[in-house]
Amino acid sequence: MFPKETHILVVDDSLNIRRLVVDSLNRMGFTKITAAEDAVEAFNKLNSAAESDKPVQLVLSDLNMPGPSGLDFLKQVRSNDSYQTLPFILVTTESEKGAVIEAAMAGVSGYIVKPFNIETLTKRLKEAWAKHNS
Ligand SMILES: [Mg+2]
């Protein structure tokens, strides 16, 4: 499982969902969380963190956002050599299954389907950790 000090980037255009995800991660014991409301802000924060002593080590990104989507963001991240193996989980809804195949091809680490609870979030994080550390 990701260590509690893992730097997690949470991206969602909905303030409520952003708060829900951050709050859930806090309750799971994670303390280093950065939030962004769109993919542009997220990529900027990802890059500035990469130049700091605490680079982002896990991304949880909404799929459906105004401007670049979570899938666009995933592709942008994966096209950068520094982020080839950065764990990247897409947060989707049941109706967005079509994007899942494309995301798989683009190198997504896993999915979380909204609505979700702490147990599901924990399970998905464990799966992503295992995928990147096996
Ligand atoms: Mg959204």
CATH number of the CATH domain containing 25: 3.40.50.2300
pLDDT > 90? residue 133: yes
Domain enclosing residue 92, as ranges: 8-132
Measured between alpha carbons, how far is 132 from 119 in angstroms, rounded to an integer?
20
Beta strand spans in the chain (E):
8-11, 33-36, 58-62, 88-93, 110-114
Q: How many domains does the chain have?
A: 1
CA angle 76, 9, 63 (to 5 degrees): 55
Q: Which residue has the tokens 């979700």?
A: 116
75 falls within a domain: yes
Measured between alpha carbons, how far is 112 from 94 in angstroms, rounded to an integer?
10
CA of 11 to the centre of ligand 1 (A): 9
Instruction: Determine the pLDDT at residue 72.
Output: 97
Measured between alpha carbons, how far is 115 from 75 in angstroms, rounded to an integer?
24
89 falls within a domain: yes
Within its chain, how far is the Cα of 20 from the centroid? 14
pTM: 0.97
CA of 105 to the centre of ligand 1 (A): 21
Instruction: Calculate mean pLDDT across residues 91-100.
Output: 86
Quickly state the pLDDT bin for 97 (edges 50, 70, 90): confident
| Distances from the Cα of 113 to the Cα of 27, 55, 84, 134, angstroms | 19, 26, 23, 24
63 falls within a domain: yes
Instruction: Determine the pLDDT at residue 100.
Output: 87
CA of 80 to the centre of ligand 1 (A): 24
CA of 134 to the centre of ligand 1 (A): 31
Q: What is the pLDDT of residues 77-94, one digit of tens each?
A: 999 999 999 999 999 998
Where on the phi/psi map is residue 67: left (φ > 0), alpha (ψ -120 to 50), or beta?
left
CA of 4 to the centre of ligand 1 (A): 26
CA of 92 to the centre of ligand 1 (A): 8
CA of 14 to the centre of ligand 1 (A): 6
2 falls within a domain: no
Instruction: Determine the pLDDT at residue 82.
Output: 95
CA of 70 to the centre of ligand 1 (A): 9
1 falls within a domain: no
